[in-house]
Every structure is written in C-alpha cells, then in structure tokens.
Amino acid sequence: MPNIVLKSSATHQKGIFALRHIKKGEQVITFGGDLLHRSQVDFEDYHLQVAEDFYLGPSRKLDDYINHSCAPNCGFKDGVTLVALCDIAIDDEITWDYSTAIDEEDFDGFSCGCGALACRGKVSSFRHLELKDKLRLLPHLLPYLKEKYYALKVEA
C-alpha cells in the first residue's frame, strides 16, 4: 500500500501527503528520473541536483511534487532516498529542505512561503546559507555536498 498521495496543498499548488502514519526513520520515497548534465536540464521543469553538474530530471511520479519546507519532516538518507525525520501523521504534507541539494553559485533562490516558524524567507543554495543553518542541515545533505562541506563539521 502506498504511504503517500498527491493532493492540492494550502501553501503550494500541489503537494504530497501522508496516507498513513509514517514512523521516524522510515523510507518515504525514492527519487527517480534521468541523470542529466547541467546543459541538458530544463530548469522550468522538475529537477533535483545530485552532483556538482548533474541532476535528476522529472520522473513524472510523486517525487516531483514534494515541496520545500525550512522545517521539513523528511530528509535524504543518501542521494535518492527520502526518509522521515520525525513521526508523520496521516494527512501531513511531506516536505524536505531544498537547500540540502542545491548548491550553485548563480542560483538566486526563490522566496519561501513554507509557513514554518523558522522559515528562512528564501530557498537558497547551500553555499549561501548562514553558518548556523549550514551546520544544522549537514546531516541531511546529499552525499556530494556532505563530501564537499566535510570541513564544516571538523571546524564546528
């Protein structure tokens, strides 16, 4: 039985919601899509940065529709597997923090209306976050960023 479903969202046009109680640590979804070089990506369409110049293109499945939150209930366990960071109740929207995947110098970001108390007001590249946010997000970074920013952990 699927654990999530696509519905309209209060803060976004569409979102993904829990169909049942999802326990902390449980796998929620695996991202799919073709592996694309930056030059092949349609940035107007769904995409997930997975390496310095590489992205997963749209899968046309549920993973395309998971929205950002600055206080998400999910995070990446590895490059493609999203897991619950806390217990998630039925009908809660599934979210992850896009800044744990995006890290581009020329990404200006977009304004965030996630509604979280800790909302940063903007979805930015990891490199443009404040140090306190970087340190908080370290455990959930995609593997290519974990490796790249390993020194942050050593310095902290």
Residues making contact with Zn ion (CB under 5 A): 70, 112, 114, 119
33: CB partners within 8 A, 6+ apart: 46, 47, 48, 56, 57, 58, 59, 63, 64
User: Rounded to an integer, what distance in angstroms lies between the CA atom of residue 135 and that of residue 140?
Assistant: 10
Taking the least distance from each CB to Zn ion, the nearer of 25 and 113 is 113
Please choose, from the candidates 60, 48, 58, 70, the residue with its C-alpha nearest in 3D space to the C-alpha of residue 6: 60
Rounded to the nearest angstrom, the gap between the alpha carbon of residue 94 and the centroid of all alpha carbons in its chain is 10
Q: How far is the CB of 88 from Zn ion (least distance, A)?
A: 18
CB of 55 to Zn ion, least distance (A): 22
Contact present, 68 and 87 (Cβ < 8 Å): no
Q: Whole-number minimum distance, CB 129 to Zn ion, in Å?
A: 12
Nearer to Zn ion, 36 or 119 (CB): 119
Q: Which is nearer to Zn ion, 33 or 75 (CB)?
A: 75
Q: Which is nearer to Zn ion, 86 or 119 (CB)?
A: 119
Least distance in Å: CB of 123 to Zn ion?
Answer: 7
